[in-house]
Amino acid sequence: MNMNINMKMKAAVVVFPDSNGDRDAKRAIETLGIPVRFVWHKESSIEDFDLIVLPGGFTFGDYLRTGAIARYSPVMEEVVRQAKRGAKVLGICNGFQILTEAGLLPGVLLRNRGLLFLGRDVWLRVENNATPFTSAYAQHQVIRLPIAHGDGNYYIDDEGYKRLEGEGRIVFRYCLPNGVAPNGVAPNGVAPNGVAPNGIAPNGAKGDVAGIVNEEGNVLGLMPHPERLVEPILGGQDGRGVFESLLNAVCGRVN
């Protein structure tokens, strides 16, 4: 891998009060030789980045709603500006919740259906590998990533869901280890009657949705944690593809 080319990519990880995935995200990106700067949420003017990560955590104690307060941090105006400019924005877990509150992604993350906080590994199917976040995966590849959230129950009205589905913007779905949902809905998640499948998402997410992109395809939010599974010493590398894809999207194929 050509580290010199990778050094040209500029990545930021935003740090909010009660972020807890910030260091993991920074390290995950750095394993690919990409320099990362921590950006404090109070910064209202930042240099242009190729990638901005909103990490996991429980910003502002999850008060009011998850992500509802962080969404008004000064840095968010910059995140919106750079997203409009075409920068890649990756919201992981609480970062996904912040992106929906900020209106960069549609829908909302409700309390888990069973009310319990869920911390465990889940299986995911890559539903669209033609995005800057998933090109390193095969279409319909099944990967394993950890989740750690109390509010991951993705909800959007039926019209919005059909739109996401139709535009290929559902990027990750929860699935069984063999890639199939128990109700036989596979591989594109559309049930025979055209409605969202009532599937196996541990949190109750509509249509088993685990991650979506915006209309332009440069903003991804997902509940599972790819940054926690990029090195073999941590038990696997299934999350590495997200960061490899981003590197390829920004710098071209370099490895």
Partner 1 sequence: MPYQAKVTVMFRKSILDPQGAAVERALKAHSEGIDISSVRVGKVIELMVDGPGPDIVEEKVKVLADRILANPVMEEYTVQVESLS
Q: Does residue 171 touch partner 1 according to CB under 8 A?
A: no
Residue 233, Cβ density class (10 Å: 0-12 exposed, 13-18 middle, ≥19 buried)? exposed
Q: Does residue 162 touch partner 1 according to CB under 8 A?
A: no
Q: Is 41 a catalytic residue?
A: no
The neighbour count for residue 202, using CB atoms within 10 Å, is 20
- Region binding partner 1 by CB under 8 A among candidate stretches 39-47, 63-71, 118-126, 238-246: 63-71
Q: Does residue 155 touch partner 1 according to CB under 8 A?
A: yes
Q: State in angstroms the smallest separation of the CB of 136 from partner 1.
A: 32
Find the largest Cα–Cα distance for the chain.
51
One of 1, 3, 7, 64 touching partner 1 (CB under 8 A): 64
Catalytic entry in 41, 93, 149, 175:
93
Q: Does residue 74 touch partner 1 according to CB under 8 A?
A: no
Q: Which residues in 73-98 are b (16+ Cβ under 10 Å) and which e?
A: bebbebbbebbeeebbbbbbbbbbbb
C-alpha count within 13 angstroms, C-beta hemisphere, residue 191: 14
The set of residues, in sequence order, having a beta carbon less than 8 Å from that of 157 and lying 6+ positions away, is none
One of 10, 27, 65, 162 touching partner 1 (CB under 8 A): 65
Q: Does residue 144 touch partner 1 according to CB under 8 A?
A: no
Q: Which two tokens stand for residue 229?
A: 């599974």
Q: Which two tokens stand for residue 39?
A: 């950006």
Catalytic entry in 127, 149, 165, 225:
225
Q: Is 93 a catalytic residue?
A: yes
Give yes or no for a contact between 53 and 13, defined as CB atoms under 8 angstroms apart: yes
Q: Does residue 233 touch partner 1 according to CB under 8 A?
A: no
Q: Which two tokens stand for residue 120?
A: 């465990």
What is the rounded CA–CA span in Å between residue 238 and residue 231? 9
Q: Does residue 101 touch partner 1 according to CB under 8 A?
A: yes
What is the rounded CA–CA span in Å between residue 28 and residue 187? 29
**Nearer residue to partner 1 within complex by CB, 94 or 112:** 112
What is the rounded CA–CA span in Å between residue 71 and residue 100? 9
Q: State in angstroms the smallest separation of the CB of 75 from partner 1.
A: 17
C-alpha count within 13 angstroms, C-beta hemisphere, residue 68: 10
Q: Does residue 107 touch partner 1 according to CB under 8 A?
A: yes
- Binding flags for partner 1, 18-57, as an x/- string (CB under 8 A): ----------------------------------------
Q: Does residue 114 touch partner 1 according to CB under 8 A?
A: yes
Q: Does residue 112 touch partner 1 according to CB under 8 A?
A: yes
Q: Does residue 111 touch partner 1 according to CB under 8 A?
A: yes
Q: Does residue 110 touch partner 1 according to CB under 8 A?
A: yes
Task: Report the interface residues with partner 1, using CB under 8 A.
Answer: 64-65, 68, 72, 100-101, 107-108, 110-115, 155-156, 204
Catalytic site positions: 93, 225, 227
